[in-house]
Amino acid sequence: MQVAVDVPKCVASGQCVQIAPEVFDQRDDDGMVVLLDEAPPPAEHDSVHEAALVCPAAAFLVTA
Amino acid sequence: MKADVPVLSMTREPEAPLDPPSQYGGFRREAPITRISLGPGAPTAWLVTRWEDARAVLANPATSTDLSRPGYPSRTPMSMPPGFFLFQDNPIHDVFRKVLTREFMVKRIEALREATARIFDGLMDELVVHRPVADLVEAVALPLPSLVISELLGVPYEDHVFFQEHSKVLIDNTVTGAQKAAAQGALGDYLETLVERRRKEPRDDLITRLGQQVDAGTFTTRDAADVGAFLLFAGHETTANMIGLGVLALLEHPDQLPRLYAGKAELATAIEELLRYLTIAQSGLARVAIEDFTVDETTIQAGDGLIIMLNSANRDEAIFSATADELDLGRANARQHVAFGYGIHQCLGQPLARMELQVVLPELFRRLPNLRVADRQEVIYKPHAAAYGPALLPVTW
């Protein structure tokens, strides 16, 4: 799995951080998404898909 | 207005006060995007009732939230000050939202969890004195979010009572317009003075950081005060309604209560399901199209108004399965709800709302395991309010 984030799209809803804290974080100065792991292990795949699905700004690109 | 356009009604079935009006199910199946009237002599608009269409419209940049635009589906067209940035389009919206995203980051909100628990404990200590019957709305649901926002903004402790009294008037449907205007004016003046004070004596709080934006020329002192008032408006009665309705839903489903104590992830899922099932924003979200666009094969023209009915989308069988109308605190995809909206205006305070509900609901039932609606007392709901919930929730324990 490969994950990419489109930071300018991010609206800092914080949902990805709550769903997959091992993969996503928020930048301290403005809350924008930070990608911690661009190739997360299989245990994280469901969470990453869920985060991508609920992101209000559709800021994630997830590829197999 | 054509005679066959149905009038939008928010009236619920009397025996199902926690469910959206039953007519929405029919719209979802037969006319998911349909013309409705907002009332006699009021404009018509598109009513959007399915989850997928709701997300598509709310994410579409060809829509506006500016109440002063012609075609905006409202009975009383008006304009909002810039600090009420929910009602601003870009670029103004982002100027304000981007100043605040830091404040509502998950880790910053988590840092307020302990203070929230302390505030809740204090309110509960006062509530239990009123045995055998207390109004949970007045005693806990309303003051808790108001006190937490005071903490977040940096309202000095000695002003909490003033802040709470005036914010209570703002959301009280039994007071006159003049009383409301007076309370709004007093809060606005108070917040403006506080911004000025923090510009001279900075502290580590949100008001200070709004003051720094005034210093930087991003916006005016009045704008900063409006942002403070908007955060109060957005986060006070909304959370209060979710606390009240959440308690009522849990009382109806005592078999599911253990899920609140099964672990952090289980509690989080349970709160998402309550947000989905109860969706307090009962009048939906209003938008006006600023360009023509197509959604689900329906052409929306520039100037058309749209009402995106969130509580219908959150009961959509296409996404939440045949059990969409049931409360299931273990629902695997509960988090896909649109109770906080969708798109660039999605609720900025959602981590705060989640944290407050995660603190309050389990603790309330832990402290009062025999909590129930008081005998021979009636729960009074707010059938016409933009944010649905109980106005009076008499409980005993």
A53-62 pLDDT per residue, tens: 999 999 999 9
Residues of B in contact with A28 (CB under 8 A): 102, 105
> What is the average per-residue pLDDT within B116-136?
96
B82-107 pLDDT per residue, tens: 999 999 999 999 999 999 999 999 99
| Residue B163 vs residue B265, higher pLDDT | B265
Give the integer Cα–Cα distance in Å for B388 and B376. Answer: 23
Tell me the shortest Cα–Cα distance from A45 to chain B, in angstroms. 15
B164-211 pLDDT per residue, tens: 888 888 777 678 888 888 888 899 999 999 999 999 999 999 999 999
The proportion of chain B whose per-residue pLDDT surpasses 70, expressed as a percent, equals 98
Considering only CA atoms, which of B50, B264, B235, B239 is closest in space to residue B137? Answer: B239
Give the integer Cα–Cα distance in Å for B147 and B13. Answer: 34
CB contact under 8 A, B346 and A31: no
Residue B105 lies in a domain: yes
Tell me the shortest Cα–Cα distance from A64 to chain B, in angstroms. 21
Give the residue extent of every domain in chain A: 2-63
B50-86 pLDDT per residue, tens: 999 999 999 999 999 998 899 999 866 677 889 999 9
The DSSP code sequence of B115-154 is HHHHHHHHHHHHHGGGTT-EEHIIIIITHHHHHHHHHHHT
> What is the average per-residue pLDDT within B234-241?
92
Give the integer Cα–Cα distance in Å for A56 and B344. Answer: 7
> What is the average per-residue pLDDT within B247-257?
98
Residues of A in contact with B320 (CB under 8 A): none
Determine the pLDDT at residue B1: 46
Taking residue B372's Cβ as centre, other Cβ atoms within 10 Å add up to: 12
Q: Looking at chain B, list the stretches that DSSP marks H as alpha helix, in order from N- to C-terminal side.
A: 23-30, 51-58, 92-100, 106-110, 113-127, 136, 143-153, 160-170, 177-200, 206-215, 221-235, 237-252, 264-278, 310-313, 317-320, 350-367
> What is the average per-residue pLDDT within B279-291?
96
Worst-scoring range by mean pLDDT, A39-43, B233-237, B273-277, B373-377?
B233-237
Give the integer Cα–Cα distance in Å for B72 and B63. Answer: 10
| Dihedral sign computed on CA atoms, order B169, B174, B180, B184 | positive
Picking from B100, B101, B355 by the largest number of A CB atoms within 10 A of its own CB, the best residue to mutate is B101
Our count of domains for chain B comes to: 1
Residue B68 near residue B286, CB atoms below 8 Å: no
B106 and chain A: CB distance < 8 Å anywhere?
Answer: yes
pTM: 0.95
Task: Provide the mean pLDDT of chain B.
Answer: 94
B97 and chain A: CB distance < 8 Å anywhere?
Answer: yes
Residue B313 lies in a domain: yes
Say whether pLDDT at A31 is over 50: yes
Residue B263 lies in a domain: yes
Query: The domain A2-63: what is its CATH number?
Result: 3.30.70.20
Which residue of B lies nearest to A12 if distances are taken between CA atoms? Answer: B101
Residues of A in contact with B335 (CB under 8 A): 15, 19, 50, 54
CA-based radius of gyration for chain A = 10
Determine the pLDDT at residue B180: 82
A11, A17, A18 ranked by CB distance to B346: nearest: A11
CB contact under 8 A, B106 and A18: yes
CB contact under 8 A, B341 and A54: no
Say whether pLDDT at B3 is over 60: no
Domain containing B99 equals 23-142+236-396
Residue B286 near residue B65, CB atoms below 8 Å: yes
Phi, psi of B293, deg, nearest 5: -155, 170
CB contact under 8 A, B104 and A29: no
Tell me the shortest Cα–Cα distance from A48 to chain B, in angstroms. 13
Orientation of helix B237-252 relative to helix B350-367, angle to 10°: 40
Give the integer Cα–Cα distance in Å for B323 and B330. Answer: 12
Tell me the shortest Cα–Cα distance from B79 to chain A, in angstroms. 24
A17, A54, A57 ranked by CB distance to B106: nearest: A17
Specify the CATH number for the domain of residue B65: 1.10.630.10
Tell me the shortest Cα–Cα distance from B183 to chain A, in angstroms. 31
Say whether B60 sits in a helix, a strand or coil: coil
CB contact under 8 A, B350 and A58: no
